[in-house]
């Protein structure tokens, strides 16, 4: 149920509609738009007549949200969500670049990377400290020490940090060191984890599962939002298809589809989307052209020596060239970068 309050509706009128929704058994989520306050009533009631609320003082209109996800639906926040972290805005006019290695490996590696990504115009550094590896014998990440190393490098270069949380037990550590918590493709439907992230108040980047539909991705976002954490961004990172020429198939069409269905910012990860360094630049350009609000890209001072995902990792000069080209594409779309 979506209740749109009239422009200038008083707080008392809004409170009284909230009270009525609660009495009817709805959980109410409030969204303050540029002109209107929107009240999203999420609950078990399907046989309810919206006209009952429409007659209340201050109510402009009221209708059912027909999609299975409610809070993530564009109708809940038609103008789009902008996530603000310090002076960085994700989902606004400016396209945001996030770059860094797949895994944090050393102080020196992160210092060099931070200098490279900052100089290229990125505002956020990435790096995994807890790694979801297909093999239990592969490098599993540096854990807390890795987070400390990345935080120090980020602070020296005025960057924000994004890092992956694989398990509920890691949430406190990630909250301490990271500005954005990444949920990896393998964990998109780890419902205990995403429900718990709904109780935090840190922005979450939710990656699309390797075989997840767009609707499933949005339902996972709904898990986080229904806990009260509305700062969710979605990430297209390629899906598994019959194709073997690339590691995954980068679903560029998911970007405009998501922009239509949801108000949440959409980020593209052409590194995991292709699995091969040679294709990352083209897919980065395509993602920005398709309307992505930002890019998440792997870059390493020496990809041949990377502890993980070296084959898809850009060299420093390639990362700079990527941001240069993507800024030019953003400008054509009347966006800054
Ligand atoms: C990563 O970002 O390094 C990662 C493991 O990504 P994904 O979950 O998309 O595979
Ligand atoms: Mn990786």
- Taking the CA of residue 296 as reference, the ligand 1 atom at the shortest distance is 2
Same domain for 38 and 93, yes or no, is no
In a domain, 237, yes or no: yes
Cβ–ligand 1 contact at 184 (below 6 Å): yes
Burial classification of residue 188, based on how many CB atoms lie within 10 Å of its CB (0-12 exposed, 13-18 middle, 19 or more buried): buried
311 lies in the same domain as 201? yes
Residue 71: inside a domain, yes or no? no
Q: Are residues 59 and 123 in the same domain?
A: no
- Of all protein residues, the one whose alpha carbon is nearest to atom 9 of ligand 1 is 185
On whether both 40 and 91 belong to a single domain, the answer is no
- Specify the CATH number for the domain of residue 243: 3.20.20.70
Same domain, 11 and 92: no
In a shared domain, residues 140 and 9:
no
Ligand 2 centroid, distance to 187 Cα (angstroms): 14
140 and 11 inside one domain: no
Query: Which residue in this structure is represented by tokens 């109510």?
Result: 59
- 215 plus 314 within the same structural domain: yes
Task: Read off the pLDDT of residues 56-80 as tens digits, 9 standing for 90 and up.
Answer: 999 999 988 889 999 999 999 999 9
The pLDDT score that the predictor gives to residue 248 is 98
Residue 111 lies in a domain: yes
Residues 151 and 31 placed together within one structural domain of the fold: no
Taking Cα atoms as reference points, which of 198, 225, 221 lies closest to residue 30? 225
> What is the tally of structural domains in the chain?
2
d(CA 106, CA 125): 14
In sequence order, the 6+-apart residues with CB closer than 8 A to the CB of 232 are: 72, 203, 204, 205, 206, 221, 224, 225, 264
Give the pLDDT of residue 46. Answer: 67
User: Is the residue at 74 inside a domain?
Assistant: no
Within a domain: 126? yes
CATH number at residue 56: 3.30.70.1140
Nearest listed ligand to the Cα of residue 186:
1
In a domain, 321, yes or no: yes
| CA 127 to centroid of ligand 1, rounded, Å | 10
Confidence at residue 48, expressed as pLDDT on a 0 to 100 scale: 79
Q: Please choose from 181, 208, 272 the residue to mutate so as to test ligand 1's pocket, defined by most ligand atoms within 8 A of CB.
A: 272
* CA 244 to ligand 2 center in whole angstroms: 18
Hey, what are 119's tokens?
């100089």
Cβ-based neighbour number of residue 246 at 10 Å:
16
Q: Is 128 in the pocket of ligand 1 (CB under 6 A)?
A: yes
Asked whether 310 lines ligand 1 (CB < 6 A), one says: no
From the CA of 235, give the closest atom in ligand 1: 9
Q: Do 110 and 253 fall within a single domain?
A: yes
Are 35 and 128 in the same domain? Answer: no
What secondary structure, in 3-state letters, does the chain show? CEEEECCCCCHHHHHHHHHHHHHCCCEEEEEECCCCEEEEEECCCCCCCCHHHHCCCCEEEEECCCCCCCCCEHHHCCCCCCEEECCEEECCCCCEEEEECCECCCHHHHHHHHHHHHHCCCCEEECECCCCCCCCCCCCCCCHHHHHHHHHHHHHCCCEEEEECCCHHHHHHHHHHCCEEEECHHHCCCHHHHHHHCCCCCCEEEECCCCCCHHHHHHHHHHHHHCCCCCEEEEECCECCCCCCCCCECCCCHHHHHHHHECCCEEECHHHHHCCHHHHHHHHHHHHHCCCCEEEEEECCCHHHCCCCHHHCECHHHHHHHHHHHHHHHHHCCCCC
Nearest ligand for residue 207 CA: 1
Q: In this structure, is residue 214 part of a structural domain?
A: yes
Question: Where in the sequence is the domain holding 253, given as residue range(s)?
Answer: 83-332
Q: Which residues pair with 294 in a beta bridge?
A: 96, 267
pTM value > 0.75: yes
Residue 76 lies in a domain: no
- Convert the pLDDT of each residue in 20-63 to its tens digit: 999 999 999 999 888 899 999 998 766 778 888 999 999 999 98
Write out the chain's pLDDT in tens, 337 residues.
899 999 999 999 999 999 999 999 999 999 988 889 999 999 876 677 888 899 999 999 998 888 999 999 999 999 999 999 999 999 999 999 999 999 999 999 999 999 999 999 999 999 999 998 999 999 999 999 999 999 999 999 999 999 999 999 999 999 999 999 999 999 999 999 999 999 999 999 999 999 999 999 999 999 999 999 999 999 999 999 999 999 999 999 999 999 999 999 999 999 999 999 999 999 999 999 999 999 999 999 999 999 999 999 999 999 999 999 999 999 999 999 8
Ligand 1: residue whose CA is nearest its atom 4? 184
The answer to whether residues 38 and 118 belong to one domain is no
Tokens read off for 31: 């969204």
How far is Cα of residue 160 from the mean position of the Cα atoms in its chain? 14
C-alpha neighbours within 13 Å on the C-beta side of residue 209:
17
Q: How far is the CA of 117 from the centre of ligand 1 (A)?
A: 19
CA–CA distance, 43 with 54 (Å, rounded to integer): 18
């Amino acid at each position: 149920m979506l209740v749109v309050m009239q422009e200038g509706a008083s707080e008392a009128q809004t409170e009284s509609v909230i009270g009525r929704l609660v009495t009817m058994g709805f959980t109410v989520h409030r969204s303050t738009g540029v002109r209107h306050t929107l009240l999203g009533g999420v609950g078990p009631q399907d046989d309810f007549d919206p006209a009952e609320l429409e007659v209340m003082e201050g109510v402009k209109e009221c209708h059912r949200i027909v999609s299975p996800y409610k809070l993530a639906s564009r109708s809940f926040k038609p103008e789009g969500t902008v996530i603000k972290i310090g002076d960085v805005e994700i989902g606004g006019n400016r396209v945001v670049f996030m770059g860094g290695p797949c895994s944090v490996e050393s102080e020196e590696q992160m210092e060099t990377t931070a200098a490279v990504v900052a100089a290229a115009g990125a505002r956020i550094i990435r790096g995994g400290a807890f790694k979801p590896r297909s093999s239990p014998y592969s490098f599993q990440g540096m854990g807390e020490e890795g987070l400390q190393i990345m935080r120090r490098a980020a602070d020296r270069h005025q960057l924000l940090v994004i890092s992956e949380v694989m398990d509920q037990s890691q949430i406190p550590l990630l909250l301490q060191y990271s500005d954005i918590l990444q949920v990896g493709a393998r964990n998109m439907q780890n419902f205990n984890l995403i429900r718990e992230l709904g109780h935090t108040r840190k922005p979450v980047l939710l990656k699309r599962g390797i075989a997840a539909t767009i609707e499933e991705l949005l339902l996972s976002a709904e898990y986080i939002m229904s806990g009260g954490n509305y700062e969710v961004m979605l990430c297209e990172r390629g899906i598994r298809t019959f194709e073997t020429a690339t590691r995954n198939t980068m679903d560029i069409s998911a970007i405009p589809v998501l922009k239509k269905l949801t108000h949440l910012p959409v980020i593209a990860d052409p590194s995991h989307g292709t699995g091969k360094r040679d294709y990352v630049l083209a897919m980065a350009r395509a993602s920005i052209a398709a309307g992505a609000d930002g890019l998440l890209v792997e870059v390493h001072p020496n990809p041949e020596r990377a502890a993980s995902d070296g084959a898809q990792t850009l060299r420093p000069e390639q990362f700079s060239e990527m941001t240069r080209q993507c800024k030019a594409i953003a400008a054509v779309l009347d966006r800054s970068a």
